[in-house]
Amino acid sequence: MVGKSPWYLRKKFLYCICILTPPIGYIVLVTNLKKLKQEEKINLLTISTIMMSIWVLKFLPKNIELYVCSFILAILFGNDILERFKGKK
């Protein structure tokens, strides 16, 4: 984003739209990936993906939601354990 960027690609606006309305924020990000720097892409896509997954969880039935949350926690703990093992070598 060299120079003055359009209003829909400003940092504060992108963070707000990704947090408040994740589907719209995700669409805006994906359609404008070439206009963003690599570091900004990673940060915004991470936030947008996390918020989108939480948003989608609202529409699942309660019994499935518990399994999905458990699966997400297992992935996070597994990732943390793998990073610790890689750090010891």
DSSP state, 3?
S
Q: What is the pLDDT of residue 3?
A: 63
Q: Along the 89 residues of the chain, how does pLDDT read in single tens digits?
A: 456 888 888 888 888 998 888 889 889 999 998 988 898 888 888 888 888 888 888 887 877 878 888 888 888 888 888 888 887 66
Tokens of 4: 């003055």
Q: Is the pTM of this model over 0.85?
A: no
pLDDT, position 1? 46
| Nearest Cα to Cα of residue 42 among 54, 33, 55, 52 | 33
